[in-house]
Amino acid sequence: MKTKHSIFFLFLVATTILSAQKKYEHIALLNGVAHIGNGQVIENSLIVINKNRIETVMSTKGLRLNPAAYDTVIDIQDKHVYPGLINTNNVLGLHDAEAVRATLDFAEIGNLNPHVRALIAYNTDNQIVPTVKTNGVLYTQVTPRNGLISGASSIMALEGWNWEDAVLLADDGIHLNFPKMMVTRFSEEDGLSKSVNKKYSEDISLLDKFFSDAQAYCNSSDNTEKNLRFEAMRRVFEGKANLYLHADKVKDMLSAINFSKKYNIKRPVIVGGKDSHRITDELRKNKIPVMLNRVNDLPDHSDDDVDLVYRLPYLLQKDSVLFCLQLEGDMEAMQSRNLPFNAGAAAAYGLSKEEALAAITLNAAKIIGLEKEIGSLEEGKLATLIVSTGDILDMKSNNVILAWISGKPVNLINKQTELYLKYKNKYGIK
């Protein structure tokens, strides 16, 4: 009964804060278990939100708190506090229904589209977004798809009136779908089959010409005409934005790395990296991080261990390769709500719980270049955090009851919670 009363009290506090945001700008969260995101855990913590920043993170041991110093004090004894989770390389917010083409805003016609910007297509009223926030994901990297060069991704908050309101970092990098040497096809007669990509040399030549032309354009000070495609590459060549190299196989990743060296790309990132455990020396030597795809998958090679994909995060961690987790693929927008549980699966296959948490918080922030703002519960960073009654990485106990994005309280009600309460009340379930 005590637990039910305390959760109900927290719900009332959250409702009050949401209805009067201006009044509650200085908030103290007391006695929670703080998972900082960098491996540190504070069992009995004090976390203070002051406007949009984290003012204090410390232990309550020996502390004498003055409640009058804050707008409100929330006792979250036995609850867990985490930094807001970061959903990288995803189309969340760029479509509403996969079966309805008119709602798909993540792909453009053409092969070379670095000037396409995903952020202006981000829909803050997307119906999937509220269901993702409920599981603790508060930021997403909206990412374009298709073509050799898909366009520029941006980091967006899962709260806001419009895309201008939601953007945290615009155009953080350009996404290049590096040509595959081998292609996999499926047919009813033959099943899965692999063959040499006949367009490989043609695609590599096309990319070489585009990058050499774009680099020459960006290095020139007397361009008579403005080229939008080349202009979009300027920040990549200057080292102010990432070049995301989408590749999975060893040969493709090594070719992508050599390609980035050829054009002196300062911030390359491997996206996918299903075979990345085979080239950890190369990745570490060149300081190339990996956005590792979902762990709930099968290995690609017939002689691989059946649990290899689950162990990939551990294998990269063991070899000191910076990585984060992402969920590109089938139904990826909806799958975003399972991001913490993918990290939980990685924790069951070698990672510690705090290392798994870092894979969807601080590591992701480091890779996208926002580690000074988000990704961990540290003083001076944006007050983006969640409070759960249980382990955020565990599907059975994950239960987010409070959340803030940049100091603003987050509404955790969505269509699914509304239906749950509707039928719970209808049938008198306690």
Q: What is the CATH number for 406? A: 2.30.40.10
Structural domain includes residue 111: yes
Structural domain includes residue 284: yes
Structural domain includes residue 180: yes
Do 341 and 413 sit in the same domain of this protein? no
Structural domain includes residue 381: no
Tell me the CB-side half-sphere exposure of residue 133, using CA atoms within 13 A: 30
Do 101 and 147 sit in the same domain of this protein? yes
Structural domain includes residue 380: no
Say what the pLDDT of residue 180 is. Answer: 93
Residues 6+ apart with CB under 8 A from 70: 26, 27, 28, 48
Counting runs of H as helices and runs of E as strands, what totals does the chain give? 13, 18
Residues of the chain with confidence (pLDDT) below 50? 1-5, 8, 20-21
Do 7 and 106 sit in the same domain of this protein? no
Do 92 and 190 sit in the same domain of this protein? yes
Identity at 172, one-letter amino acid code: D
Using the CB atoms, write b or e for 213-237: b if 16+ within 10 Å: ebbebbeeeeeeeeeebbebbbbbb
Do residues 115 and 228 lie in contact, with contact meaning Cβ atoms separated by under 8 Å? Answer: yes
Do 63 and 175 sit in the same domain of this protein? no
Do 393 and 269 sit in the same domain of this protein? no
Residues 6+ apart with CB under 8 A from 159: 124, 133, 138, 166, 405, 408, 410, 411
Q: What share of the chain is helix, strand, coil (3-state, %, to 5)?
A: 35, 25, 40
Q: Domain tally for the chain?
A: 2
Structural domain includes residue 60: yes
Determine phi and psi for 310, rounding to 5 degrees.
-65, -30
Do 241 and 308 sit in the same domain of this protein? yes
Structural domain includes residue 383: no
Cα–Cα distances (Å) from 359 to 252, 343, 346, in that order, read 24, 7, 9
- Structural domain range at position 69: 2-83+389-426
Of all helices (H) and strands (E), which one includes residue 5?
Answer: helix 2-19
Say what the pLDDT of residue 33 is. Answer: 97
Do 39 and 49 sit in the same domain of this protein? yes
Instruction: Give dist(CA 223, CA 90) in Å, integer.
Output: 35
CATH of the domain at 353: 3.20.20.140
Do 97 and 68 sit in the same domain of this protein? no
Do 283 and 315 sit in the same domain of this protein? yes
Instruction: Give dist(CA 196, CA 370) in Å, integer.
Output: 39
Q: Is-above-0.85 flag for pTM?
A: yes
Structural domain includes residue 66: yes
Do 125 and 250 sit in the same domain of this protein? yes
Of all helices (H) and strands (E), which one includes residue 228?
Answer: helix 228-237
Residues 6+ apart with CB under 8 A from 44: 31, 32, 33, 59, 60, 61
DSSP 35: E
Local structure of 180: helix, strand or coil:
coil
Do 27 and 159 sit in the same domain of this protein? no
